[in-house]
Chain A
Amino acid sequence: MKRELPLFLTAVIGIFMILSFFVPHQWVSVPADFLQTCAIIVVAFGYVLGGANVLRVNLEAISKREPDWAFKLVLVGSLVVTFVVGIFDGIRSHGAFPGENSPSKWIYDNMYSAMGATMFALLAFFIASAAFRAFRIRTFEAGLLAVAALIVMLGRVPVGDVMTSWLPEWMRLGSLQQWIMDFPQNASKRAILIGAALGVMATGLRVILGIERSYLSGED
């Protein structure tokens, strides 16, 4: 029963949701809408579960003094402080998002926002270093990739057109990168998208029919 009931529920609800795409009658659409609203609530609970999991894993690592435990302490401390400040701000603003001068907004603007942007900005430096040390052209295919990358990288920015302004319009880097994006790139991307969509459909069917059971406590 522990396995059969979830399998049965998955199959019934899965088939029902597929049916709702094709049957507009209210006997189908109203329960389908209700289930979709339930999904939002379930996802919101996922955040609570995720927060509890972060605490469990990191507190355990701190108590065992695992490598880098001090960083985990900072993580747990930040999580608890942000959570407590958020709760108080939420109560003060009657459930709305915190206002401009609230401590939560201060944390968001001056810590979260700045750190998030910093992490992303670091990419520019590491990409340059990786391009120099790791992007090696050893095969013909790698050569094609490198040429396409150089054309797109330079053609996407104004300097590409400036460098090739003496060439006819269709030979300029901007035009060449647009051609690469519109044709070879688009064709391969479409193939990947269609392949992935077929894979998702197949996996969905396997879950509905009870063939794919890995979501049940990791069993196959």
Chain B
Amino acid sequence: MGFVDWVSRLDRRWIFLTMGLLVLGPLLHPLALPIHVTPPVRGFVTAVDAVPKGSTVLMSCDYDPASIPEMVPMTRTAFRHLMSRDCHVVVTCLWAGGAGLVDSIITEVAREFPGKTYGVDWVNLGYKAGNEAVMVVLGQGISNAFPRDYWGHDVKSLPMMSSVRDYSSFPLLVNISAGYPGTKEWVQQVQGRFHLKMVAGVTAVSAPEYYPYLQSGQLQGLLGGMAGAAEYEVARGEKGSATRGMDGQSLGHLFVALCIIMGNVVARVQKKKER
């Protein structure tokens, strides 16, 4: 039996095992491959840096646990970036399964800033059903859509929210999204209508969808998948889970590329033999 026959009869569990080892190996022994910051990520960092210190920023985290590896590093770095610039952050979530996860992340990051207090420096408004309708109602007034925060407090009673009325109170919208409702809807319903500056972090698979918005200037910056999150960490001088995961992802991508090439070579050779 030749090499081609052996490859064509390869049990797919060997492919699974190889993929598993290629992802796991670099997590245990990092390769430290160099990560370069691309223009969309640089745009994201510049837009956040351009927000005046002490401003209030809206951050909508629209995802659920299925996309933890891509979305959580972005959320963590973006929230840390905003807090380090002394911005006040209003956090929302439009995905039913995401509110608990988002609260855990921002609470964990907020602990790095002992001087910051909930209700004064950041507020988590939690989840609200309604998708695009919630985005539009937020434009009428934040407390119209979210009368109570994640913890059940009256939003109007929180010190930070006394100066927050509607979208005009925010110089920037940061959206971290894994699908619908997410970046596309925020651009269509809020950026286009209320002319709010916006940056987004999205899953790698959906990133191409947002390039037209990036090119038109409707998005000031874009983080695409774990690669975008890793670039953001590098741009901020951090070494988080996305940077650590990039080695494994690199080898995973390389393996998939080899699978495509090998699969086609084998198919061609077999076709020739049949002739």
Q: Which residues of A contact B (CB under 8 A)?
A: 33, 36-37, 39-40, 43-44, 46-47, 93-98, 105, 108-109, 112-114, 116-117, 119-121, 124-125, 127-129, 131-137, 146, 149-150, 153-154, 156-162, 174, 178, 181-182, 185-186, 189-190, 193
Residue B33 interfacial (CB < 8 Å): yes
CB-CB under 8 A from A116, the residues of chain B are 64-66, 68, 97
| Complexed CA–CA distance, A131 and B257 (Å) | 8
Q: Which residues of B contact A (CB under 8 A)?
A: 10, 12, 15-16, 18-20, 23, 33-36, 38-39, 64-69, 96-97, 99-101, 103-104, 126-131, 133-134, 136-137, 140, 144-145, 148, 150-153, 204, 208-209, 211-212, 215, 224-225, 227, 246-247, 249-257, 259-264, 267
| Complexed CA–CA distance, A160 and B34 (Å) | 10
Q: Among B10, B100, B103, which residue has the most Cβ atoms of chain A within 10 A?
A: B100
What is the minimal beta-carbon distance from A98 to any residue of chain B, in angstroms? 8
27 A-B pairs, CB-CB below 8 angstroms?
A36-B133, A36-B137, A37-B133, A39-B133, A43-B130, A93-B152, A96-B150, A97-B126, A97-B150, A97-B151, A98-B100, A108-B101, A113-B100, A116-B64, A124-B19, A132-B15, A135-B260, A149-B260, A154-B253, A156-B224, A157-B33, A158-B250, A159-B251, A186-B215, A189-B211, A189-B212, A190-B212
Q: Among B101, B251, B260, which residue has the most Cβ atoms of chain A within 10 A?
A: B260
| Complexed CA–CA distance, A190 and B216 (Å) | 10
CB-CB under 8 A from A105, the residues of chain B are 100
With known contacts A128-B255, A132-B15, A158-B35, A117–B133 Cβ distance under 8 A: no
The answer to whether B103 touches A186, judged by C-beta atoms less than 8 angstroms apart, is: no
What is the minimal beta-carbon distance from B51 to any residue of chain A, in angstroms? 26
The answer to whether B129 touches A44, judged by C-beta atoms less than 8 angstroms apart, is: yes
The answer to whether A162 touches B148, judged by C-beta atoms less than 8 angstroms apart, is: no
The answer to whether A174 touches B129, judged by C-beta atoms less than 8 angstroms apart, is: no
| Complexed CA–CA distance, A97 and B100 (Å) | 8
Q: Which residue of A lies closest to B101 (CB)?
A: A113
With known contacts A119-B66, A128-B255, A40–B16 Cβ distance under 8 A: no
The answer to whether B215 touches A96, judged by C-beta atoms less than 8 angstroms apart, is: no
| Complexed CA–CA distance, A124 and B255 (Å) | 10
The answer to whether B144 touches A37, judged by C-beta atoms less than 8 angstroms apart, is: yes
What is the minimal beta-carbon distance from A80 to any residue of chain B, in angstroms? 18
| Complexed CA–CA distance, A124 and B226 (Å) | 14
Top 6 closest A-B pairs, CB basis? A96-B152, A40-B130, A158-B33, A159-B250, A116-B65, A39-B133
CB-CB under 8 A from A156, the residues of chain B are 204, 224-225, 227, 253
The answer to whether B209 touches A161, judged by C-beta atoms less than 8 angstroms apart, is: no
Q: Among A94, A124, A153, A160, which residue has the most Cβ atoms of chain B within 10 A?
A: A124
With known contacts A128-B16, A174-B36, A158–B246 Cβ distance under 8 A: yes
With known contacts A96-B148, A125-B15, A137-B264, A182–B211 Cβ distance under 8 A: yes
| Complexed CA–CA distance, A182 and B150 (Å) | 39
| Complexed CA–CA distance, A159 and B15 (Å) | 20
The answer to whether A136 touches B264, judged by C-beta atoms less than 8 angstroms apart, is: yes
CB-CB under 8 A from A150, the residues of chain B are 257, 260-261
Q: Which residue of B lies closest to A181 (CB)?
A: B211
| Complexed CA–CA distance, A158 and B203 (Å) | 18
The answer to whether A112 touches B246, judged by C-beta atoms less than 8 angstroms apart, is: no
What is the minimal beta-carbon distance from B168 to any residue of chain A, in angstroms? 15
CB-CB under 8 A from B67, the residues of chain A are 120
The answer to whether B215 touches A154, judged by C-beta atoms less than 8 angstroms apart, is: no
CB-CB under 8 A from A124, the residues of chain B are 19, 23, 252
The answer to whether A132 touches B259, judged by C-beta atoms less than 8 angstroms apart, is: yes
CB-CB under 8 A from B247, the residues of chain A are 158
The answer to whether A157 touches B211, judged by C-beta atoms less than 8 angstroms apart, is: no
Taking a contact as CB atoms closer than 8 A, the residue among B19, B134, B211, B261 that contacts A128 in the complex is B19
What is the minimal beta-carbon distance from A111 to any residue of chain B, in angstroms? 10
